[in-house]
């Protein structure tokens, strides 16, 4: 536990404390002016309302998709399970810009069908794209929860006792999923708070500002010392908001959301939606992926094969010159470095997330679980500044500093899914294995890793993909 506490102190506490020190020593006299600046209150309200609205929609949608794919005979289920994760691979900048190309004025649908969406640049467009971007994450966490926490035999017993499908879902399945749903809700809310790319690409042109877009604006005004202090102060405000909301929720809810495992989990999942119901689920998923991801990416591809923005994507204007200029040795080297860093970060984060999830079962560990969420809410640019002023003297200009930034930023990504699945461990079997002569590593490998494998793989995948297309740090 001491080693994990030291890592938390290095990656979370030290950078945040350093930010506080810089703000108080260099800008304490200006804090009143900073927080009274015009438009800041509106940006704060926009950010909180946006995070709430995205969470309220994305978490039920992701959970419903996970339940639908597990409990139905939807045609091509394996393909749909894979397709639902594909949007995670699309960077936020790309997804936001592709929506403007697809649905904006003079965009793809406007040119082909005469159907523009004027509100795509503004709060409604930002909300819609953030929901599309968040649903795959909530789906993945809920699917991991179903794979690790579902009790098919309990559900069959309830059905045999006369309970209907809705009653089984309400009284058996959803209570077992509460930790996973809570993890998805926290991550969805915090990720929306710190989201920058989509609000910048789609909100700023429509006059919609959030705290993160103001931070970016302040950091871009490098010649104004007050703007730099304002950026750090606003980032700390997000941290304070997370402390006020997330940490107390963790301390109070964590022990109440756990479910004592009383049954064996053997048995295939119950299929409750057959025939037409399965086809309706497939149609709904197809519509979501088509409108939310496929059409925007096709519009982006159409823009990429034209010589300039605004040129009609007719076959006579197609060119591969843009791809030729992008595919060079320098970019290939950068991609290799990004992939290596993402692989290393995801592997280390899975271990660190598992350690915190285990320690979370103690009271002091629950506080530690809340702490690792603090750096997730920091915008990437601000976290990079915090780590640079904390460790730049020794690690400036090295890949190690970037790796530390990934670890600090994404720790909660690994911790939350694993924590939601940890109750899957059969009670007492670890102790029984040790009592039978198994070593600590053997007991963990033979007893713990198998039931936790879906959660560990899900956490690794999310961390790897997110680190791979991280651009703000």
Name the region of 114 (left: φ>0; alpha: ψ -120 to 50; beta: rest): left
Q: Which of 70-79, 99-108, 269-278, 463-472 comes out lowest in average pLDDT?
A: 269-278
- Write the DSSP string, 139-193: HHHHHHHHHHH--HHHHHHHHHTT--HHHHIIIIIHHHHHHHHHHHHHHHHHHHH
Which two tokens mark 20?
């506080």
Task: Report how far residue 344's alpha carbon sits from residue 154's, in angstroms, rounded to the nearest whole number.
Answer: 40
pLDDT tens for 111-146 read 777 777 777 889 999 999 999 999 998 998 888 778
Q: Domain for residue 412, yes or no?
A: yes
pLDDT tens for 424-446 read 666 566 677 777 777 767 777 77
Tell me, what's the pLDDT at 252? Answer: 61
Helix ranges restricted to H, 71-113: 77-85, 92-103, 108-113
The mean pLDDT of 307-329, rounded to a whole number, is 78
The mean pLDDT of 440-467, rounded to a whole number, is 80
pLDDT tens for 11-69 read 999 998 998 888 888 877 777 877 888 888 899 999 999 999 999 999 999 999 988 88
Task: Report how far residue 257's alpha carbon sits from residue 420's, in angstroms, rounded to the nearest whole number.
Answer: 9
Task: Report how far residue 418's alpha carbon sits from residue 457's, in angstroms, rounded to the nearest whole number.
Answer: 9
Mean pLDDT score across all residues of the chain = 81
Tell me, what's the pLDDT at 419? Answer: 79
Task: Report how far residue 43's alpha carbon sits from residue 234's, in angstroms, rounded to the nearest whole number.
Answer: 11
Give yes or no for residue 101 having a pLDDT over 80: yes
Task: Report how far residue 424's alpha carbon sits from residue 177's, in angstroms, rounded to the nearest whole number.
Answer: 11
Task: Report how far residue 340's alpha carbon sits from residue 327's, in angstroms, rounded to the nearest whole number.
Answer: 19
Which comes out higher in pLDDT, residue 357 or 203? Answer: 203
Residues with Cβ within 8 Å of 253's Cβ and at least 6 positions away in sequence, in order, are 182
Q: Are 346 and 404 in contact (CB under 8 A)?
A: no
Which of the four pLDDT bands, split at 50, 70 and 90, describes residue 263?
Answer: very low
Which of the four pLDDT bands, split at 50, 70 and 90, describes residue 262?
Answer: very low
HSE (CB half, 13 Å, CA atoms) of 220?
Answer: 7
Other Cβ atoms closer than 10 A to 110: 16
Which of the four pLDDT bands, split at 50, 70 and 90, describes residue 345?
Answer: very high
Tell me, what's the pLDDT at 56? Answer: 96
Q: Are 418 and 179 in contact (CB under 8 A)?
A: no
The mean pLDDT of 457-472, rounded to a whole number, is 86
Q: Domain for residue 356, yes or no?
A: yes
Q: Are 174 and 142 in contact (CB under 8 A)?
A: no
Task: Single out the residue of 2, 3, 13, 6 nearest to residue 370, CA to CA.
Answer: 13
Which comes out higher in pLDDT, residue 8 or 116? Answer: 8
Residues with Cβ within 8 Å of 93's Cβ and at least 6 positions away in sequence, in order, are 197, 201, 471
Which of the four pLDDT bands, split at 50, 70 and 90, describes residue 244?
Answer: confident
The mean pLDDT of 138-166, rounded to a whole number, is 76
Which of the four pLDDT bands, split at 50, 70 and 90, describes residue 178?
Answer: confident
Give yes or no for residue 383 having a pLDDT over 80: yes
- The secondary structure of residue 206, as a DSSP letter, is G
Task: Report how far residue 370's alpha carbon sits from residue 364's, in angstroms, rounded to the nearest whole number.
Answer: 10
Tell me, what's the pLDDT at 423? Answer: 62
What is the gyration radius of the CA atoms in the chain, in angstroms? Answer: 24
Residue 412 burial by CB count (10 A; 0-12/13-18/19+): exposed, middle or buried?
Answer: buried
Task: Single out the residue of 275, 265, 297 nearest to residue 102, CA to CA.
Answer: 297
- Write the DSSP string, 226-239: HHHHHHHHHHHHHH
Any idea which residue has 């919609």 for tokens?
A: 208
Helix ranges restricted to H, 221-275: 225-257
Task: Report how far residue 170's alpha carbon sits from residue 159's, in angstroms, rounded to the nearest whole number.
Answer: 13
Q: Domain for residue 152, yes or no?
A: yes
Which two tokens mark 318?
């197609």
Tell me, what's the pLDDT at 303? Answer: 81
Q: Are 187 and 369 in contact (CB under 8 A)?
A: no
- With a pLDDT cut of 90, the percent of the chain lying above it is 20
Give yes or no for residue 200 having a pLDDT over 80: yes
Tell me, what's the pLDDT at 209? Answer: 93
State the CATH number of the domain containing residue 234: 1.10.3720.10
Q: Domain for residue 473, yes or no?
A: no
Tell me, what's the pLDDT at 61? Answer: 94
Tell me, what's the pLDDT at 426? Answer: 60
Give yes or no for residue 340 having a pLDDT over 90: yes
Which two tokens mark 285?
């998923």
Q: Domain for residue 14, yes or no?
A: yes
Other Cβ atoms closer than 10 A to 155: 23
The mean pLDDT of 259-284, rounded to a whole number, is 61
Question: Number of folded domains in the chain?
Answer: 1
Which comes out higher in pLDDT, residue 183 or 193? Answer: 193
Q: Domain for residue 265, yes or no?
A: yes
Q: Which domain holds residue 436?
A: 2-468
């Amino acid at each position: 536990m001491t080693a994990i506490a030291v890592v938390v102190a290095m990656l979370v506490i030290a950078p945040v404390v350093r930010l506080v020190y810089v703000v108080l020593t260099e800008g304490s006299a200006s804090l009143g002016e900073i927080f009274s600046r015009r438009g800041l209150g509106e940006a704060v309200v926009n950010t909180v309302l946006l995070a709430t609205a995205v969470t309220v929609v994305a978490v039920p949608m992701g959970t419903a998709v996970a339940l639908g794919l597990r409990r139905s005979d939807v045609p091509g289920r394996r393909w749909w399970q894979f397709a639902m994760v594909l949007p995670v691979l699309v960077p936020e900048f790309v997804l936001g810009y592709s929506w403007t190309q697809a649905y904006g004025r003079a965009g793809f649908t406007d040119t082909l069908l005469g159907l523009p969406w004027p509100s795509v640049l503004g709060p409604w467009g930002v909300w819609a794209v953030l929901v599309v971007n968040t649903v795959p994450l909530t789906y993945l966490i809920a699917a991991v929860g179903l794979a690790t926490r579902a009790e098919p035999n309990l559900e069959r017993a309830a059905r045999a006792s006369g309970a209907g499908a809705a009653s089984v879902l309400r009284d058996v399945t959803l209570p077992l999923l509460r930790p996973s749903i809570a993890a998805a809700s926290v991550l969805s809310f915090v990720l929306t708070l710190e989201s920058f790319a989509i609000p910048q690409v789609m909100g700023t042109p429509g006059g919609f500002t959030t705290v993160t877009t103001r931070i970016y604006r302040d950091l871009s005004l490098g010649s104004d010392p007050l703007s730099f202090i304002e950026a750090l102060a606003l980032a700390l405000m997000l941290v304070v908001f997370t402390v006020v909301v997330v940490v107390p929720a963790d301390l109070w809810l964590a022990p109440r959301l756990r479910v004592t495992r009383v049954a064996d989990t053997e048995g295939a999942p119950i299929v409750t939606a057959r025939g037409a119901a399965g086809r309706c689920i497939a149609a709904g998923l197809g519509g979501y992926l088509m409108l939310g991801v496929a059409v925007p990416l096709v519009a982006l591809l159409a823009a990429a094969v034209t010589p300039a923005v605004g040129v009609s994507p007719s076959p006579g204007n197609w060119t591969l010159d843009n791809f030729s200029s992008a595919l060079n040795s320098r970019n290939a080297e950068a991609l290799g470095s990004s992939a290596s860093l993402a692989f290393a970060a995801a592997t280390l984060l899975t271990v660190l997330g598992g350690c915190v999830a285990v320690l979370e079962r103690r009271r002091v560990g629950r506080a530690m679980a809340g702490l690792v969420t603090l750096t997730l809410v920091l915008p990437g640019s601000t976290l990079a500044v915090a780590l640079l002023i904390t460790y730049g003297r020794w690690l400036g200009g090295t890949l190690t500093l970037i790796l530390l930034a990934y670890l600090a930023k994404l720790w909660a990504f690994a911790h939350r899914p694993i924590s939601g699945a940890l109750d899957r461990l059969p009670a007492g079997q670890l102790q029984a294995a040790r009592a039978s002569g198994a070593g600590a590593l053997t007991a963990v490998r033979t007893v713990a890793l198998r039931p936790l494998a879906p959660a560990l793989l899900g956490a690794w995948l999310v961390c790897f993909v997110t680190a791979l297309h991280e651009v703000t740090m």
